Amino acid sequence: MQHSAVPDLAHTHTRPVHWIATAAAVAGVVALSSLLPPDAATAAQAAAGSRTNATRADAAPPDPATVTFPLECGPVEAVVRKKATGDLDGDGRPETVAVVHCDAPMGTPPDGVYVLTGDAGGGTPRVVATLVDPRERRTATALAVRDGAVLATLLGYSSADVPSCCPDVTDDVKWRWKNGAFVRAEPSQARTV
């Protein structure tokens, strides 16, 4: 039996350009996936010290787009930068935590972090708690709701002399619903940047 010679095919030899193209394609898929919101969680979460309540499938989390936030933005609009949802008080209905700031054309406006809830009858959502007031000059870089707690990473300033462009303190914080109020976990894990 005689074997015929098979010519070298260009696509059978990897070259740096192939690896670069593959890396670019993977980076594009990862970037695109970060823009798509995850599906709503349907697992039950228990608030600290309460019985486990399954989040009702028919209960939609409050939509921050329908809420008027307690911000003084002047001629610009308030913008919701981040949001996370989950049952924070153990009642079986999801709440929404929203990071909001004024849409300033320049600079880094400070964020407010607000908890939203809706009525049992599906009424208009409303702000029920302010976890971070914009007057604190903080920027939230991460936000999540896990196991009935609100988790956030906040950037801030060690003194009033630090310019707004350059926060020099990072603080990982956690709030949990306890005795009718959101309580911030202590001690703070502040670290300088």
**What's the confidence (pLDDT) of residue 50?**
38
pLDDT digits (tens, 9 = 90+) for 90-147: 988 999 999 999 998 887 889 999 999 987 666 789 999 999 999 999 999 999 999 9
**What's the confidence (pLDDT) of residue 171?**
94
> Which residue type occupies 53?
N
CA atoms of 167 and 109, how far apart (whole Å):
12
CA atoms of 33 and 27, how far apart (whole Å):
10
**What's the confidence (pLDDT) of residue 76?**
93
**What's the confidence (pLDDT) of residue 118?**
85
SS3 76: coil
| Cβ atoms of residues 80 and 62 within 8 Å | no
CA atoms of 181 and 89, how far apart (whole Å):
9
pLDDT digits (tens, 9 = 90+) for 154-184: 999 999 898 888 899 999 999 999 988 999 9
Instruction: Write down the H helix ranges in 12-133.
Output: 16-35
Closest to 172 (Cα-Cα) out of 136, 133, 141: 141
**Tokens standing for residue 23:** 């890396």
pLDDT digits (tens, 9 = 90+) for 75-104: 999 999 999 999 999 988 999 999 999 998
Average pLDDT, the chain: 76
Closest to 60 (Cα-Cα) out of 21, 95, 16: 95
**What's the confidence (pLDDT) of residue 56?**
52
> Which residue type occupies 69?
F
pTM score? 0.67
How distant, in Å, are the alpha carbons of 30, 62, 124, 183 from that of 52? Answer: 35, 21, 26, 20
